[in-house]
């Protein structure tokens, strides 16, 4: 069984934190040693300043301070210039992303637009008589368009026969249908679309409901003429 350490077992800053939280910070060897080291460091720094560039009265040399100030000022100016360059570059990249972020989508859609133009031109040359060819061309364009959208993360929402989901469906009307459970999508007026799991447009649907004389769901309707 593991023994819970008491105060005598704890060392360093952990014991200091406990004592401070209890309202009194008792002297400890660790604290006294840290204070002595800090005081020694301050004395060494002051002695170095007096011995390195001291003036006639033991003060720091103004020329050394001026040189140090110049170095700091130069460093500050360089940092400010770097930040300004970064800010301008970020703004430029953001503007380019807004202007040309959909470049790949447009590039993939161009062949689809070309095929649609070819289908229309073929229908015009045939004098409108080749409806089968026009239909095949339009169907081809639709398949290509769906493929391009899927490549860019667009998914079609077609909930025919599925339970109504208000998070991705929009009910436009209700229709009595005793053959399906209440709240089932019986007709899709417009399919919905999502972009990488983000809803772009909900599917507009018609939802089923029970008729007034229908038996409750889960029970069988009693045949006509059966009095038992």
pLDDT category of residue 48 using cuts at 50, 70 and 90? low
DSSP 103-124: HHHHHHHHHHHHHHHHHHHHHH
Q: Which residues are within 8 A (CB) of 10 and not within 5 positions of it... i.e. 6 or more apart?
A: 18
- Tens of pLDDT along 179-223? 999 999 999 999 999 999 899 999 999 999 988 766 666 655 554
pLDDT the model gives residue 126: 78
Structure tokens at 38: 């800090």
Helix axes 131-151, 103-125, angle to 10 degrees: 180
What is the rounded distance in angstroms from the CA atom of residue 162 to the CA atom of residue 158?
A: 9
Structure tokens at 109: 């859609």
Residue 40 predicted with pLDDT over 80: no
pLDDT category of residue 138 using cuts at 50, 70 and 90? confident
Structure tokens at 125: 């040359």
Is the entire prediction scored with pTM above 0.95? no
Residue 86 predicted with pLDDT over 70: yes
């Amino acid at each position: 069984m593991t023994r819970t350490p008491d105060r005598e077992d704890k060392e360093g800053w952990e014991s200091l934190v406990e004592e401070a939280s209890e309202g009194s910070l008792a002297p400890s060897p660790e604290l006294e040693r840290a204070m002595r080291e800090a005081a020694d460091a301050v004395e060494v720094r002051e002695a170095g300043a007096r011995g390195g560039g001291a003036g006639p009265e033991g003060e720091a040399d103004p020329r050394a301070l001026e040189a140090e100030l110049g170095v700091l000022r130069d460093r500050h100016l360089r940092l400010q210039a770097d930040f300004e360059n970064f800010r301008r570059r970020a703004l430029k990249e953001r503007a380019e992303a807004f202007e040309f972020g959909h470049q790949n989508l447009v590039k993939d859609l161009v062949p689809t637009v070309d095929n649609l133009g070819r289908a229309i031109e073929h229908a015009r040359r045939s004098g409108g008589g080749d409806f089968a060819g026009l239909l095949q061309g339009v169907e081809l364009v639709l398949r290509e368009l769906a493929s391009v959208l899927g490549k860019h993360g667009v998914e079609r929402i077609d909930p025919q026969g599925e339970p109504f989901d208000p998070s991705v469906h929009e009910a436009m009307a209700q229709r009595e249908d005793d053959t399906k459970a209440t709240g089932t999508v019986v007709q899709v007026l417009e399919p919905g679309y999502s972009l990488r799991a983000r809803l772009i447009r909900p599917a507009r649907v018609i939802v089923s409901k029970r008729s007034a004389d229908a038996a409750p769901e889960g029970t069988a309707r009693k045949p006509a003429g059966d009095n038992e």
